[in-house]
Each structure stands twice: as structure tokens, then as C-alpha cells.
Amino acid sequence: MKILKRIGIGLLSLIGILLVVIIGYVGYMQMHYYRIPDNRKLTVKNNQAKKLSLYHPYSIITYNVSFGAYNHNFDFFMDKGELKNGKKRKVPAVPRFSKQSVLDSTDGVIKTMKKQNPDFMLF
């Protein structure tokens, strides 16, 4: 009987702790929730006069701009956790390159995208 009582108290305590954590999490998320107001008036910049036409082939190119922060010496850290030079990284530690290296990589992305001359660029 005492063992069942202890098990019951333990389970109730565990459920209580779980409820406190869930309620705390939901409360935290609600206090830090930010939403852009609905029906905001937007200003159109660089409005184009050209209109799209049906049955005309268009070229589209996409690029994940977050990879502009990495250069050709970088291997995606979630794959092996190492740089191409063999230097091991602790996953999920992300190698940090210099600001200039990031600017150079991003500039290379921009040049490559412009060279493709697509009708649409999605970043």
C-alpha cells in the first residue's frame, strides 16, 4: 500500500512538473509573440512597367543566401563537422569566417546570379 502511495505521489509530482513546464513555455511564448499588424499599407519601390504574358518561357534562379557566409573551404557542418582542410569542428559549432570573407562570398553570389541573367531571382 505504501509503495502504491509513493508511486502515485511520484506520478502526480511528475505530471505537476510537466504542467508547470508546459504552462511556463506557453506563457513565455505568448509574452514574446510579435505579429506584424494586418492590412499594413506598403510602398511599392521599383515598380516595373513590364507585364507577364501567358505561354512565354521565363527563367528563374534561386539561391539560399545564408550560404553566402561560407566560402569554398567550408563543408556543411551538419554533414561531417569538418572544414575541407580536414580541421574537425564540434557539431553544431559553426566555423566563423572574417567579415571580409563573408562579403567576398556574398559578392560572388551576386555576380554569379547576375551572370545567369534570369527573369526572376528568388533569394
Per residue in 64-102, pLDDT tens? 877 666 666 665 555 555 566 666 655 445 556 678 877
Whether 69 and 27 map to the same domain: the answer is no
Which range of residues forms the domain containing residue 9? 1-34
- What are the φ and ψ backbone dihedral angles of 4, each rounded to 5 degrees? -65, -40
53 within some domain: no
Given the DSSP bridges, would you call strands 60-62 and 120-122 parallel, antiparallel or unpaired? parallel
Whether 69 and 29 map to the same domain: the answer is no
Whether 19 and 68 map to the same domain: the answer is no
Helix residue spans in the chain (DSSP H)? 2-31, 99-116
CB 77 within 8 A of CB 94: yes
CB 113 within 8 A of CB 63: yes
Supply the mean pLDDT for the chain. Answer: 81
Q: What is the pTM of this model?
A: 0.43
47 within some domain: no
Whether 28 and 65 map to the same domain: the answer is no
